[in-house]
Amino acid sequence: PPIESVFNLNDFEKIAAKVLPEQVYAYYSSSADDEVSYRENHNSFHKIFFKPKILVDVTNIDLTTEILDSQVDIPFYVSATALCGLGNPKGGELDIVKGCADVNVPHMISTFSSFSIEEIAEAKINENQIQWLQLYVNSDRKITHDLIVKAERLGMKALFVTVDAPSAGNRERDARFKFSAAENNGPKVMEKSKDKDATTNGTSRTLSKLIDTSLTWADIETFKKLTNMPIVLKGVQRVDDAIRAAEIGCRGVVLSNHGGRELDFSRPPLEVLAELMPVLRDRGLNKNFDVLIDGGIRRGTDILKALCLGAKGVGIAAPFLYANSLYGSEGVELCTQLLIKELVLSMRLLGVTKLSDLNADFLDLSGLFAR
Ligand code: FNR
């Protein structure tokens, strides 16, 4: 279908389900067990309603903000997705970089990218394009430490350590297909690995072998000593863990259950956000500590709800991945433009002109915790 048939972010997935090779779509879309967390991530946004203010001059809408010390024109970023080359063999992550250039959408680069991080860094069109490294920690710590040092040298602006995935979750739609790393040219980090030619039940299981199950808080201290990049823990799911991250000097957290791909029945991050922010403020830990959130964000209104609750920004993964698979960098640009259009319109209708004016007073939260 032509790109003109895409009116919103959900359309990318609907088209991808029809046209992507079955195995690729299975890996991209599969979440854990019965996919309850996946659905609840989406549903949680549908449980919050707005209380718009009237008679505000909303002629000029300003979407600028600051995320992890970078000035940005939009409050969202492209979250990490492994193996962008499965859906877009020629362009892979490089097309995402191109598609992010115009608006300078921050791009979190997966450890398990189809292209090397050197190639992805070189693909930047503007020198000031914001790139972050997402880190999966290898049981051979030297591989991981080298990657961190390299990322900083390549100008990456933050290190996102994924902490919700000591093993890949049980993604059964993916597991029904045999995956051969050698045949599917990726991920780049596997080239030197002895598992290179491995054929396993599913892409997720293959990647999982490259993740260390013994990662702990002590490793975070080690990473802090290795790099000046700010460290963000991606996949925090409890208030006490977020507080601990702030106390040990992390620059932020991503409240996330990995899009429901890890532990099924882990809570929707939006609920955790609503609980966390008052505690952080009470303890004075909300300064210099950015709370980000991802999972199921598909609309401008979803983004506004998260920001009203105190998130500094939101991550969006699957829609950008599908957009890139279907239409390359043009798709990535369209995905960004659709979100901007929805954000501007929704802010007008909410009676707000800048992001710093958003707060929980605009929300009816009475349904959020209902099951
Ligand atoms: C992911 N995600 C992910 N996260 C991460 O830290 N490293 C990774 O390599 C990947 N890979 C990956 C592949 C695919 C196909 C998907 C769909 C997701 C998780 C991702 O960054 C994000 O946390 C969730 O997908 C939630 O956001 P969405 O997809 O609901 O917007």
Q: 135-160 pLDDT, tens per residue?
A: 999 999 999 999 999 999 999 999 99
What pLDDT sits at residue 229?
98
What is the reported pLDDT for 184? Answer: 65
End-to-end, the C-alpha distance of the chain in Å comes to 38
Q: Which residues line ligand 1 (CB under 6 A)?
A: 28, 79-82, 110, 112, 134, 162, 234, 256, 258-259, 294-297, 315-318, 321
**ipTM exceeds 0.95, yes or no:** yes
Cα 115 to middle of ligand 1, angstroms: 17
Per-residue model confidence as pLDDT tens digits over 163-175: 999 989 999 898 8
pLDDT confidence of residue 206: 82
What would the mean pLDDT of 204-220 be, rounded to a whole number? 89
3 state SS of 292: strand
Give me the pLDDT at residue 194, please: 56
Residue 289, strand partner residues: none
Taking only the tens place, the pLDDT of each residue in 28-64 is 999 999 999 999 999 999 999 999 999 999 999 999 9
Q: Taking residues 296-322, what's their average pLDDT?
A: 98
Is 356 marked as a binding-site residue? no
Ligand 1 atom 1: residue of nearest CA: 81
- Beta partners for residue 66, in sequence order: 71
pLDDT digits (tens, 9 = 90+) for 68-97: 999 999 999 999 999 999 999 999 999 999
Instruction: Report the separation in Å between the CA atom of 217 and the middle of ligand 1, taken as the mean of its atom positions.
Output: 22
253: left (phi over 0), alpha (psi -120 to 50) or beta: beta
Percent of the chain with pLDDT over 90: 87
Ligand 1, atom 19: nearest CA belongs to which residue? 258
Q: Where are the beta strands (DSSP E) in the chain?
A: 49-50, 65-67, 70-72, 76-78, 107-109, 131-135, 159-162, 178-180, 199-201, 231-236, 252-255, 290-294, 313-316, 363-364
> Known binder of ligand: residue 80?
yes
Among all chains, which residue has been given the structure tokens 């045999």?
Answer: 178
Mutate to test the pocket of ligand 1, among 38, 79, 210 (most ligand atoms within 8 A of CB): 79
Closest-CA residue to 341 (of 48, 52, 43, 63): 63
Nearest CA to ligand 1 atom 6: 162
In the predicted model, is pLDDT for residue 199 greater than 80?
no
Mean pLDDT calculated for residue range 195-221: 84
What pLDDT score does 175 carry? 86
Task: Tell whether residue 258 is among the known ligand binding residues.
Answer: yes
* pLDDT of residue 197 exceeding 70: no
Residue range 252-279, pLDDT digits in tens: 999 999 999 999 999 999 999 999 999 9
The CB density around residue 13, as the number of other CB atoms within 10 Å, is 19
What percent of the chain has a predicted confidence (pLDDT) above 70? 96
Q: Which residues contact 133 (CB under 8 A, 6 or more apart)?
A: 108, 109, 111, 117, 147, 148, 151, 156, 158, 159, 160, 229
Distance, CA 135 to ligand 1 centroid (Å)? Answer: 12
Contact 210, 112 (CB under 8 A): yes
Q: What is the pLDDT of residue 195?
A: 62
> What pLDDT does 39 receive?
97
Active site residue 258: yes
Is 162 known as a binding-site position? yes
- Report the distance separating Cα 355 and Cα 347, nearest Å: 9
User: Would you say 67 and 104 are in contact if contact means Cβ atoms under 8 Å apart?
Assistant: no
Q: Has residue 193 got a pLDDT over 70?
A: no
